[in-house]
């Protein structure tokens, strides 16, 4: 992309082709156009507000890609083999720069699916519903798997009810009458309109009695696959059969997950679908290592029968922290010992010691298995402080890595170095002209030592005046008058 001269006015970035909403059948490809003129910001697509990223191959979405020549502002979105997961609002976005504002244009993708079956909801266990003359009966036709919602027509004793137009909810009322036949039995069925959903008529299904659903199936994770912390995981659960349709519930380590917080340790979304499916989608963390996720299906007639499928996750994660224990003060000419311990990690984390920016070897390296999985690493450092060292403090750093991330987890400890003071030196002024009653000035000086020394004076009599000076610490001068 060419950048105009700073002295020339830069034109605003604008859409020359904006995306338009489309309807596709399940399994067909989706192509949404997006072309920007004078593009200056970075371009990407979003789905239902979730960013797909700036990379052309759209990581994490193997059926999605960006096509066209980006140098010409072409950023078309291609989706191979559309599924119901692809249904939603898409937006082509271009970020702002210092010279131009951001752009955004939206389009909807509607994935159409032909209905798979019809069921008449009767509110009774038998295929025959009894009614009383003068009291309405309510019948509802349930369409399974269709998208968008089709129109439904009702038939009574083989004849379509012309005076009742097709509806979307499939609900009808019928007042029983004596003239309905000698037996008083009327045959009803419902049918999807032939002009909806790919113009394919669907034969009515035979009403059936309530029954439990089939065991659910979880997809989205292959047993034995190892995840890394931060990786996006999408678990889908689906159950077929059952009358009435089953409800699906997610559990983590035996605890029911409630919408919208599927896990207080991570952010995620729990989606319930009308077509007997539910999905969990979140970024895994180290807390998910060994976690047991379970999907259970239940309807009114399944009773105490446990219908479930489950997966157990294996996640690689780095240590979240390290901790240094030991002294903060040490004496010159002696050695000190520090210990560094990591939080649990998988795989095992290694520890590196740095003293004042120089790598040093530890005296021990111990790995132990942590409760609930993972490993804890600990290491001891023994370091000798040279008496001739002129520094008053040194910085010790513990670094932990295990290959999950290039970034190390670190903690720093500053060690203050204790040093003895230098021998005190006396300096006296006024000795040459000293007479009784005169003034004598005495200086006491000490160099070196950490922390700063304190100086004390002792004056001894009676025969003659002895002045004693004591010191501890860095250079300090004290003055006395006799």
Q: List, for residues 172-228, the tens digit of each pLDDT value.
A: 665 555 455 444 456 666 777 643 333 233 333 344 456 788 899 999 999 889 999
Provide the token pair at 345. 């990690």
Q: What is the pLDDT of residues 374-392, one digit of tens each?
A: 999 999 999 998 877 778 8
Two tokens, residue 315 = 């996640």
Q: What was the pLDDT predicted at 469? A: 63
Quote the pLDDT of residue 35.
96
The reported pLDDT for the residue numbered 289 is: 94
Alpha carbon distances (Å) from 150 to 21, 145, 168, 243: 20, 10, 6, 21
Question: Looking at residue 164, what is its pLDDT?
Answer: 53
Beta-bridge partner residues of 477: 445
Pull the structure tokens for residue 96.
């702002």
The two tokens of residue 426 are: 């006396």
Q: Report the distance separating Cα 271 and Cα 279, nearest Å.
A: 5
Q: Which residues sit opposite 37 in a β-bridge?
A: 14
Burial 365-388 (b: 16+ CB within 10 A, else e): eeeeeeeeebbbbbbbbebebeee
pLDDT of residue 1: 41
Which parts of 187-334 are beta strand (E)?
188-192, 217-219, 226-228, 232-238, 247-252, 255-256, 268-272, 277-283, 292-298, 307-312, 314-316, 322-325, 329-331
Measure the CA–CA gap between 188 and 408, rounded to whole angstroms: 71
Strand partners, 382: 337
* pLDDT of res. 349: 95
pLDDT at 426: 80
Task: Please tell me the pTM assigned to this model.
Answer: 0.47
Residue 98, burial from CB neighbour count under 10 angstroms (0-12, 13-18, 19+): exposed
Parts of the chain with a pLDDT under 70 = 1-10, 121-138, 157-158, 162-189, 193-210, 259-276, 304, 459-482
Select from 301, 316, 299, 311 the least CA-distant residue to 251. 311
């Amino acid at each position: 992309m060419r950048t105009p001269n700073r002295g020339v006015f830069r034109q605003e970035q604008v859409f020359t082709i904006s995306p338009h909403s489309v309807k596709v059948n399940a399994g067909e490809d989706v192509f949404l156009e997006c072309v920007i003129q004078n593009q200056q910001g970075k371009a990407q697509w979003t789905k239902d507000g979730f960013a797909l990223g700036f990379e052309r191959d759209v990581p994490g979405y193997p059926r999605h890609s960006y096509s066209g020549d980006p140098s010409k502002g072409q950023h078309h979105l291609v989706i191979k083999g559309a599924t119901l997961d692809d249904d939603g609002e898409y937006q082509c976005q271009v970020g702002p720069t210092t010279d131009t504002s951001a752009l955004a244009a939206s389009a909807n993708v509607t994935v159409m699916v032909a209905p798979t079956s019809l069921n008449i909801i009767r509110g009774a266990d038998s295929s025959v519903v009894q009614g009383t003359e003068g009291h309405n009966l309510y019948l509802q036709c349930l369409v399974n798997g269709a998208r968008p919602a089709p129109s439904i027509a009702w038939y009574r004793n083989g004849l379509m009810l012309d005076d009742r137009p097709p509806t979307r909810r499939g609900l009808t009322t019928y007042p029983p009458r004596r003239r309905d036949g000698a037996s008083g039995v009327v045959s009803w069925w419902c049918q999807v309109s032939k002009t909806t959903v790919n113009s394919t008529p669907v034969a009515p299904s035979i009403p059936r009695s309530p029954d439990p659903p089939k065991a659910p199936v979880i997809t989205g994770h292959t047993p034995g696959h190892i995840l890394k912390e931060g990786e996006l995981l999408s678990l889908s659960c689906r159950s077929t059969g059952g009358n009435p349709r089953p409800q699906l519930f997610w559990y983590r380590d035996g605890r029911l997950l409630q919408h919208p917080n599927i896990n207080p340790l991570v952010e995620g979304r729990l989606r319930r679908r009308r077509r007997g499916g539910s999905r969990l989608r979140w970024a895994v963390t180290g807390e998910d290592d060994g976690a047991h996720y379970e999907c259970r299906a239940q309807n009114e007639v399944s009773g105490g029968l446990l219908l479930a499928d489950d997966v157990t996750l294996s996640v690689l994660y780095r240590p979240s922290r390290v901790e240094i224990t030991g002294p903060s003060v040490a004496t010159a000419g002696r050695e000190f010992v520090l210990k560094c311990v990591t939080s649990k990690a998988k795989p095992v984390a290694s520890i590196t010691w740095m003293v004042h920016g120089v790598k040093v070897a530890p005296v021990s390296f111990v790995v132990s298995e942590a409760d609930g999985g993972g490993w804890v690493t600990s290491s001891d450092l023994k370091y000798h402080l040279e008496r001739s060292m002129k520094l008053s403090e040194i910085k010790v750093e513990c670094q932990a890595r295990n290959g999950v991330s290039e970034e190390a987890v670190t903690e720093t400890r500053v060690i203050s170095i204790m040093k003895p003071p230098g021998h005190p030196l006396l300096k006296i002024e006024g000795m040459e002209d000293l007479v009784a009653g005169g003034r004598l000035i005495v200086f006491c000086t000490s160099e070196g030592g950490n922390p700063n020394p304190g100086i004390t004076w002792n004056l001894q009599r009676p025969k003659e005046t002895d002045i004693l000076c004591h010191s501890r610490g860095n250079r300090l001068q004290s003055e006395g008058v006799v």
